[in-house]
Structure 1
Amino acid sequence: MANIDFGGILKSVEDQSKALAEKLFKQYTHQAVSDVRDFLQKSAGNLKRWVEELARGEMDKDEFESLIKGQADVAEMRALKQAGLAAVQIDTFTNGVLDIIVNAAFAAIP
């Protein structure tokens, strides 16, 4: 199996999530990035295992996406909630971040 740059995936997710936050929230970008970092820290073990299984062909794209989407409950987005953003805005951001994770993982697999 080729080496997967998991750190690169996390960096890509963080960078793309920051760009999404700047587009959606402008003045709450710092809180959004903080929430994404918290989510990635809590989910890192699962994400790494799933990316490795995906790379080995032990799961397909649909299974991987389903597992990532299932992480939405872990993505509490506490700082954005404390900033007073509406649940719909936070959900839009969370779904965007989960899509970014899926795309970053696929981009990292040779």
Structure 2
Amino acid sequence: MDFEKLLKELKEEIVAEAIDKFGDEGKLIVDDMKAYLKSSEEKLKKWSGLFLAGAIDKDELEWLLKSQKDLLVMQALVKAGVNKIKAGHFKNRVISIVLNKLVSLVI
């Protein structure tokens, strides 16, 4: 697995989802996504390896990803006027994107 390629694809998918959901304001999250992926990189690498090796299942992987949710700070969206509830829903969507991407590597 090319982990750098995975991180790049995740960033692109998350930013595309943000632009789709929030319009031009969604472009503002690029730095937030970089910070999130950077702060989670080692754990994502470890967890994806465990998942691909079959050492953890999808539910365990999802639980681990959700444990990192607080690291996902949507400061740019909140500053742009997106309310905290919508930003919170988007955090959940980001976790889903990461989970689905990792699961798709196994299928």
TM-score normalised according to structure 2 size? 0.90
Deviation sequence 1:41-82 (CA, Å, 0-9, x none): 110010000000111111111000111111111101122222
The match for 2:61 is: 64
State, as a whole percentage, how many aligned pairs show the same letter.
32
Distance in 2 separating the partners of 1:64 and 1:99: 11
Q: Which has the higher contact order (CA 8 A, sep 6+)?
A: 1
Higher helix share: 2
Residue 63 of structure 2 aligns with an amino acid whose one-letter code is S
- Does residue 52 (structure 1) correspond to residue 49 (structure 2)? The answer is yes
Deviation sequence 1:10-29 (CA, Å, 0-9, x none): 12211111221111111212
Q: Structure 1 runs of 4+ off > 4 angstroms?
A: none
- Does residue 17 (structure 1) correspond to residue 14 (structure 2)? The answer is yes
TM-score normalised according to structure 1 size? 0.88
Aligned residues: 107
Q: Is the 8 A contact 1:5 1:108 kept in 2?
A: no
- Does residue 41 (structure 1) correspond to residue 41 (structure 2)? The answer is no
In structure 2, runs of 5+ residues without a counterpart are: none
Q: Is the 8 A contact 2:52 2:105 kept in 1?
A: no
